[in-house]
Amino acid sequence: MIGILFVCHGNICRSPMAESVFSSLVAAHGMEGCVFVASAAAHSDALGEPPHRGTREKLAREGIPLIPHRARLMTAADGDTYDYLIGMDDWNVRDMRRIVGERNAGKVCKLLDFSSRPRAIADPWYTGNFDETFDDIVEGCNALLKHLVAAGKI
């Protein structure tokens, strides 16, 4: 079973959105027993908070079930637990590598690194654009799933 941890700054916008989108994709392809998915924060700003209203509303409009969630902080142990540690931007990646240390730093990447157009996913906390964030996350999640299937991991 492959473990995937999605990480963003506070674990209330992008990473729970990615967790929900990827979990929905996995279920749609009948691969639930092959992957376990979670999300976490790189910083403690919003610990214990539910997903942002914009994330909840966008997922509802798209018909994607929101994974039951409260923001939690990424830990060094996550580096051992998960096979893929996936951030949304360069700041997340930097923080994630610091958290998991050198031994697991190679597991860290950005979600859109799996796409044909690697780039950061903008934080809708600042931009207010949950539609753009959602589109980028869907692109990245589809590319990640394709990568895992092509690599024979699921």
Residue 62, pLDDT score: 98
Query: Which strands make up the sheet holding 108-110, listed edge to edge?
Result: 35-41, 2-8, 84-87, 108-110
Say which amino acid occupies 149: V
Domain boundaries, the chain: 2-150
Is 8 a residue of the active site?
A: yes
Global pTM reads 0.97
Q: Give me the numbers of helices (H) and strands (E) for the chain, helices first please.
A: 6, 4
Q: Which residues of the chain have pLDDT under 50?
A: none
Residue 43, pLDDT score: 97
Task: Name the one residue in this structure whose structure tokens are 């050198």.
Answer: 102
As a whole number, the mean pLDDT across the chain is: 97
Class of residue 49 by CB neighbours under 10 A (exposed 0-12, middle 13-18, buried 19+)? middle
Is 123 a residue of the active site?
A: yes
Q: Considering only CA atoms, which of 67, 54, 57 is closest in space to residue 25?
A: 67
Residue 31, pLDDT score: 93
Is 14 a residue of the active site?
A: yes
Q: Which of 78, 89, 95, 123 is catalytic?
A: 123
SS3 154: coil
Residue 75, pLDDT score: 98
Q: Which fold has domain 2-150?
A: Rossmann fold (3.40.50)
Read off the pLDDT of residues 94-118 as tens digits, 9 standing for 90 and up.
999 999 999 999 999 999 999 999 9
Q: Which residues contact 10 (CB under 8 A, 6 or more apart)?
A: 41, 43, 45, 46, 49, 71, 125
Instruction: Tell me the HSE value of 85 on the side-chain side, using a 13 A CA sphere.
Output: 29
